[in-house]
Structure 1
């Protein structure tokens, strides 16, 4: 099956007639990818809805339909700028093989705002390739739902027409949701055996009624009536339970929002205000103690640090004057000795010439001493040795005091910074009235969640009781019927049917194992092909009942799914869908909306290079400029994987979208 052309006229944001050629083949060249780019809110999802609407009509699972009736949904899809005389139109031309021959059908759905009878007008046209003309196939119009179910059943359509959010949900859930499980069963052909078993049960019940006498028939019908009532009640309770679960999820979200608001608006800090105030008081006391310590330091010699350079100068001057005093004393002693020496030499009878030489030497030595050691200058400090010693002690104690003062200043600065931080926290705390409102809102949300959980538990208990009652009634009905069967031919039918059902059960189990074994191989191969960590997972196993996935490494040890990153989980979900498509054997187009959400660069490259070109013979990608960007487009173009490119250009002023050839780049 190939989608050849999509035509939108006055549909959603698409005003006027917009034609999109989706044919992946041109001039005998086949490239699988049709790339359509558009910004968020620009109409990408609307294109997916148009394809679904064309195929399935009122049964279509469109994104923005919700609980709307089909009539209201069609009215909602009409473009706001559509003139009153014009109709809204969706056309989908597709090709498939019928009786070993290719045929093309054009699905045409038209309607106007507030459509009559609450539905659209359906036309199925067959394209005559030779004459390039369409002719109406009225017999297909009346049986279209059955016809399309044979080509692309609605139950499996979400496995071929899906979006990134759908993949994200499938990746985050441990067990696939029921709608996906049903689609998987349909895609693998497992529902045929189950349907045959149900049909046999209907035949057996019909035969039981035929062979029972009037009294027995009344009893059987009464039991069956009670069974139907219980089954109807069970279905109602099941729906109610699903609704309660949905409401519980919403209430859980509201509870989380209330808690986030409680924290964001200062409720949590307000609850801790007293403790913060005590901490601030303690820090303030510590600061005051530090300041008192500083005051005590200021009572001693610490203030002398302000004149430390002057003290240093005084110490140097004192030492200098002290040396001068010592030199002067030494000079006077030497001069006295020189006089005594000269007198002695005169008395000793030394010649006058030698005495004069010695006297000249001593006079020269005296001048040298005056020049080198004694430089007279004004003495103003007049410090003695004891004073200089005390001045040295002052310097020693002053350095210790400065070190202690610096430590106290650092402590004081840290404590004051802590006080500022605590004051900021206290200032962000909610006021008492606002705090009470936040607490009340949080408690109300918690109470709603508790009440909803209780209601869900009660409903679930009722469902379990009804299920047990239904099993008991079925068992009673079976035993009652067996005891009242008289006709041998019907006994043979019923006995044979029981054997056939047992055979069907075995067949169903073996078919499931066979299909799932093949599916496990395909999913493993696809996942390892997409995953850049080829050694992370060696085998993917699929549960036969829930279809949940289990991962194993090379040693056969389980690999917990929480070890996978969010991107790897999405690749696993995509590999699951890819494997299903390959195992089903159906050649169907694949359309992906927002294909690369939440994936890192390496996972994106693997998906772009390996999955998109191989996912199907026709792959329609609806992407923003941040998902399939310049790099990804370049890779796809270099690999010759893109057949056509379109840009959904959205005008925010008119809220209209036009389809133009080309991509963002």
Structure 2
């Protein structure tokens, strides 16, 4: 099956007649993706609703219908600028194989603002010829081609994937669709048909009294069935109300956080933290003052003190030289006298005398070059000053640096706490925000309690139904004595047991195939290939259980939000592959909360392979420049459209091309 063309005329924000070519075939080649871009509120979801409405009419599960009746919904879909006498129109052209030949059908639905008889007018065209018979039996025909029950698995949006990702087990509507898609409802339908046949035979062959009793039991059975359906509908309604209530509760809590409610609730704690931090900062300042009362200020004149030490050393050396000069001269005189007594000879004595004079002249020159002493510091004072510079002063500089760093940290914390406290809501606003949170929480709790009560009632009804069926079966055994009826009832019971066993084995066989496909799809989409090795599906509620390569259970809460969405998409993809149906896939807002790596995997691996035709309805932030470039490089896009929304006139027009 392929969608070839969608025509909208005065539908929703689309004024006038606008045509979108959806064919994946271009230039005699097939490309799977039809890319439709649009901003939020620009009409993307309306396109999806138009496809559903064209296919299913009053049974369509459109996003904006809610609790509206079908006439009210049709009136709501009429563009606000449509003249009173003009019609609103939705057309969907598609092709599929019928008896090994390709046929094209155009579904046409049109109506006015106040639809005649509360419904639209349906026409089915095969080529250019109108098929009245097919139009009258369209609901039965489309159920064989694309059943309504499974349409949500092929025409879905990001919110549906998000909801499916968060649930432990699929909702009842999805479970029914899965059973229909896997062919599991056939055995159930046969069992129901068999119950009807048995009831009919009992009526044919029972006495008047027996017939009356059987009819009374069947009435109770029918009443229980009706009440069961009503309770199921109430449960679905309550589940939707609960979803909305939880959404409002989340929004109220987020508003409570963003508008300073949480900080206002923690104001006393923050004030105490601020006071403690101020005290720590003051203690550090006092410690700095204490350090500054020691030798630390000398660091300001450290070069000058080093020059003073050098000057003192020079003065001490000059003083030592002056003190030694007299003693040296006296020694030289005694040495010369001694040498004269030894009669060394005039030449040798002259040489020694010349050497001593040269040494004395050098010493005199050194003393002459020394500056005049002005520091007059002794050696002990210089040693003390040298110890202060080399040891005490360095230690105090390091200590001061650490104190200053601590002070910076404390002042940073003070600034941060001041900012937090400044954003706190006022007491009046805090009370309002807190009251809103409590109100939404109470509403969620009330709906949840009502939902639990309805589920309990549903379980009671199921027990009653089983007991009534057993009573009806036992009645037939005890009171209907004819051999042919007994044979029929016994055979029917055996067939029912066989059907039950058949359904169990069929379910296991289908689920085994589905588990393989879902595991393969999930590992293909996930960039962490070692996270999950196998996925098992519960035969009762179709919940998923994950196991790692070592066979250990992987709790679902360990997955990130993006990984949960990929798991939901892998589930839908695996279902489509197991079903064997060649159906188009349409996805509204497909990339949700996915991070860049998961988004890239989905763009590269899922979209081009999800089906032979994939209609993507996306904003500019979901499929952006990088993603659309990737799809173009893969030659996966057949056509690109952009929904241009005029906010002033609240109208949307369809143009060729994407955002970039």
| TM bracket, shorter-chain basis | 0.7 to 0.9
Residue 329, structure 1, aligned to residue 328, structure 2 = no
Which one of 630, 635, 651 corresponds to residue 656 of structure 1? 651
Mean Cα deviation higher: 626-635 or 586-595? 626-635
Q: Residue in 2 aligned with 1:65?
A: 65
After superposition, give the CA deviation of every residue in 1:11-58 in whole Å (9 maximum; x if it has no partner). 22322222233344567x341525232222433332222222112111
The 1:355–1:646 alpha-carbon spacing in structure 2 relative to 1, beyond 3 Å, is closer
For residue 390 of structure 1, report the CA deviation from its aligned partner. 5.7
Q: Residue in 1 aligned with 2:470?
A: 475
Residue 584, structure 1, aligned to residue 583, structure 2 = no
After superposition, give the CA deviation of every residue in 1:184-212 in whole Å (9 maximum; x if it has no partner). 22223322321222122223334434555
Q: Residue in 2 aligned with 1:131?
A: none
Query: How many corresponding residue pairs?
Result: 658
Secondary structure in structure 2 of the residue aligned to 1:657: strand
For residue 339 of structure 1, report the CA deviation from its aligned partner. 5.4
Secondary structure in structure 1 of the residue aligned to 2:496: helix
Residue 495, structure 1, aligned to residue 482, structure 2 = no
For residue 371 of structure 1, report the CA deviation from its aligned partner. 0.8
Q: Residue in 1 aligned with 2:116?
A: 116
Q: Residue in 2 aligned with 1:130?
A: none
Which one of 140, 143, 149 corresponds to residue 146 of structure 1? 140
Q: Residue in 2 aligned with 1:369?
A: 363
Is there any run of 5+ residues in structure 2 with no aligned partner, and where? none
In structure 1, how many angstroms separate the alpha carbons of the residues matched to 2:631 and 2:401?
A: 67
Q: Residue in 2 aligned with 1:201?
A: 195
TM-score by length of 2: 0.84
Secondary structure in structure 1 of the residue aligned to 2:321: helix
For residue 160 of structure 1, report the CA deviation from its aligned partner. 2.6
Q: Residue in 1 aligned with 2:20?
A: 20
The 1:340–1:542 alpha-carbon spacing in structure 2 relative to 1, beyond 3 Å, is closer
Which one of 153, 160, 169 corresponds to residue 163 of structure 2? 169
Q: Residue in 1 aligned with 2:615?
A: 620
The 1:370–1:501 alpha-carbon spacing in structure 2 relative to 1, beyond 3 Å, is same
Q: Residue in 2 aligned with 1:38?
A: 37
Secondary structure in structure 1 of the residue aligned to 2:122: strand
Secondary structure in structure 2 of the residue aligned to 1:373: helix
In structure 1, how many angstroms separate the alpha carbons of the residues matched to 2:189 and 2:146?
A: 19
Aligned alpha-carbon RMSD (Å): 4.0
After superposition, give the CA deviation of every residue in 1:460-506 in whole Å (9 maximum; x if it has no partner). 43443343344334433443454332444443433333233223223
The 1:599–1:259 alpha-carbon spacing in structure 2 relative to 1, beyond 3 Å, is closer
For residue 599 of structure 1, report the CA deviation from its aligned partner. 5.0
In structure 2, how many angstroms separate the alpha carbons of the residues matched to 1:340 and 1:603?
A: 104
Equivalent positions of 1:491-530 (< 5 A) are: 491-524=486-519, 526-527=521-522
Is there any run of 5+ residues in structure 1 with no aligned partner, and where? 128-133
After superposition, give the CA deviation of every residue in 1:536-594 in whole Å (9 maximum; x if it has no partner). 66655443332334455667665555565555554544444344344434333333334
In structure 2, how many angstroms separate the alpha carbons of the residues matched to 1:425 and 1:334?
A: 82
After superposition, give the CA deviation of every residue in 1:110-158 in whole Å (9 maximum; x if it has no partner). 112222222112222232xxxxxx2332222322222222222222222
Which one of 543, 546, 549 corresponds to residue 541 of structure 2? 546
Q: Residue in 1 aligned with 2:314?
A: 320
Q: Are the equivalent residues in 1 in contact too, given 2:38–2:617 (CA < 8 A)?
A: no
For residue 650 of structure 1, report the CA deviation from its aligned partner. 3.7
Secondary structure in structure 2 of the residue aligned to 1:89: strand
Q: Residue in 2 aligned with 1:155?
A: 149
The 1:568–1:414 alpha-carbon spacing in structure 2 relative to 1, beyond 3 Å, is closer
In structure 1, how many angstroms separate the alpha carbons of the residues matched to 2:590 and 2:397?
A: 69
In structure 2, how many angstroms separate the alpha carbons of the residues matched to 1:301 and 1:607?
A: 68
In structure 1, how many angstroms separate the alpha carbons of the residues matched to 2:277 and 2:630?
A: 62
